[in-house]
Structure 1
Amino acid sequence: MQSFIEQHPIYTKINVAWGEMDALQHVNNVVYFRYFETARIDFFNQINLLEDLQKTGVGPVISENNARYKRPVTFPDTVLVGVTISDIQADRFMMHYTVFSQSQNAITTQGSSQVVMFNFKTGQKAPLTEPLLAALKNNTRD
Structure 2
Amino acid sequence: MHELLQTFPVISEVKVAWGEMDALQHVNNVVYFRYFESARLSYFQKINLSLDSSQTTIGPVLAETNCKYKLPITYPDTLFIGAKVIDIQEDRFTMEYQIVSQKIDKVCTQGQATCVMFDFINHCKVKLPSKITQGILDLEAC
- Percent of matched pairs sharing the same residue: 45
Output the amino acid matched with 1:128. L
**Shift >6 Å, 4+ stretches:** none
> 1:56: which partner in 2?
56
Do the aligned residues in 1 keep the contact of 2:12 with 2:42 (CA within 8 Å)?
Answer: yes
TM-score by length of 1: 0.92
Structure 2: how far apart are the matches of 1:79 and 1:9? 16
Do the aligned residues in 2 keep the contact of 1:57 with 1:119 (CA within 8 Å)?
Answer: yes
> 1:102: which partner in 2?
102
Matches within 5 A, 1:1-142: 1-50=1-50, 54-140=54-140
Do the aligned residues in 1 keep the contact of 2:50 with 2:56 (CA within 8 Å)?
Answer: no
Q: Greater helix share, 1 or 2?
A: 1
- State the number of aligned residues: 141
Q: 1:56, CA displacement in angstroms?
A: 2.7
Q: 1:53, CA displacement in angstroms?
A: 5.3
Q: CA RMSD in A?
A: 1.7
Output the amino acid matched with 2:107. I
Unpaired runs of at least 5, structure 2: none
TM-score by length of 2: 0.92
Structure 2: how far apart are the matches of 1:125 and 1:113? 16
Structure 2: how far apart are the matches of 1:92 and 1:83? 16
Residue aligned with 2:6, SS = helix
The verdict on how the C-alpha distance between 1:62 and 1:45 changes in structure 2, with shifts beyond 3 A counting, is: same
Q: 1:75, CA displacement in angstroms?
A: 0.4
Output the amino acid matched with 1:134. Q
Do the aligned residues in 2 keep the contact of 1:20 with 1:28 (CA within 8 Å)?
Answer: yes
Output the amino acid matched with 1:46. K
Structure 2: how far apart are the matches of 1:31 and 1:135? 28
Output the amino acid matched with 2:108. T
Unpaired runs of at least 5, structure 1: none
Do the aligned residues in 1 keep the contact of 2:9 with 2:140 (CA within 8 Å)?
Answer: no
Structure 2: how far apart are the matches of 1:86 and 1:6? 14
